Amino acid sequence: MKKFFKVLFKLFLFFFFCIVLLGGYLILRYRNWEKDFESGIRQEYVITKESIQDVSVEERLTQFVLSSEDTQFLEFKVKEFGAILFTVLNNYTNEEITVERMYIEPQKAKWKIYIEFSYKEVRLWASMDLNKDDMQTAQLYTKELFVGPFPIHTFTDWDDTINRGIGDSLVTLNENGFVGRYIENIELLEDSIIFKGSRY
């Protein structure tokens, strides 16, 4: 019996040691990734609670909704769209989990969106891609989800959940006429996102 407990104790120590090593490796890899990532950040595309105070899009939204033109375009610069997204995300988080910063890497047809969440004293960067096919459609979708350098889209179905959410939001927006127009197309460009809306 003593021998059995001795072996069990050694196995426990072995697994505990492996978990500590794995945890140390993951933390070290994340910290190295974070250092490289933050050194390449372009400050003009960083969104914080303070920076969104200077962003105002109400006038353009009103013009988009009330315009008498059959077709109207609504353009948001990267930081303006980020401010809207930042506000929406903060409304869905609670007091313990908050959005500290957001960073967007824009390019034609694909934007990479990084979000820094904080929980108590821990801060982690998560990221997703936002894609738009070269077609006349309002559909956006994501294919990649990461926490730091670690891909999580291969282990979860969160990307499917996000894509369903985006699709359902657009359907709801169009069917209920919340912006007074039918959103026909969305374009992701190198410095802005453009919505094309037609009158009902």
Phi, psi dihedrals of residue 78, rounded to the nearest 5°: -55, -50
Residues 60-76 pLDDT 10s: 888 888 888 888 899 99
**Cα–Cα nearest to 123, from 145, 97, 85:** 97
Q: What is the pTM of this model?
A: 0.87
Q: How far is CA 198 from CA 7, 66, 70, 76, 155, in A?
A: 73, 11, 6, 18, 40
Which residues face 117 on adjacent strands?
A: 99, 124
pLDDT of residue 86: 92
Q: Residues in the chain with pLDDT < 70?
A: 1-5, 7, 176-178
